[in-house]
Structure 1
Amino acid sequence: MMYAVIVRFAIDVMHVEKFRGLVLFNAEQSLSKEEGCRVFDVCEMGDGEFWLYELYDDPEAFQLHLRTPHFLQFDAQATTWILEKSVRTGQHLAKTSSLQLS
């Protein structure tokens, strides 16, 4: 089983564009540079709300993610733009979609 992480952000609307660019860069870097990161989806829901869906090989791979330079940069830059943040973790049980996104 893989380790799932779901993060919800509420971003100050004045900073949505900057946050969007930063979170997309973090997602791309995570997928390309972290061996244990398998999925890093970013969804923008409107009105400053973003959801991340991440899958890692195991909890240790996620802990490694939290220490990478790209995550630390993201965290330092975005912290003042975040109005609310919640993080949920659990076990990924099954892949139920055949959708291939590029």
Structure 2
Amino acid sequence: MFVVIVRFDVWSHSVSKFSELVQQQAENSLRLEEACHQFDVVQDASDPTVFYLYEIYDDRAAFDTHLAAEHFKQFDREAMLMVARKEVWLGSKL
């Protein structure tokens, strides 16, 4: 299994809108992508401007398919205006 962990630092004035947008992205990914098995959204308890995603896919190819999906491209376009910083970690589930 291929694991993706993403950290978003969101502008404070965009927290509510980003929260709605990223939750919809999680729902879309799980519903529309057969190879997406998990897509958790976590908001940091000590800093509400920080969000983490934990995603599990069949393999790297399935994640690449996710990145090419129209729902992801739309999310990415909308979210980029709300995000101050983004970090991505890729790995394999043991």
Q: TM-score range by the shorter chain?
A: over 0.9
Residue identity over aligned pairs, in percent, reads: 46
Structure 1 partner of 2:23: 24
Deviations 1:18-48 (A, max 9, x none): 1000000000000011011000000001330
How far apart in 2 are the matches of 1:23 and 1:10? 13
Paired residues, what number? 92
Structure 1 runs (4+) deviating above 2 angstroms are none
SS at match of 2:13: helix
Structure 1 partner of 2:86: 85
TM-score by length of 2: 0.95
SS at match of 1:88: strand
How far apart in 2 are the matches of 1:33 and 1:65? 9
Q: Any stretches of 5+ residues in structure 1 without a counterpart?
A: 94-102
- Pairwise CA RMSD: 0.6
TM-score by length of 1: 0.88
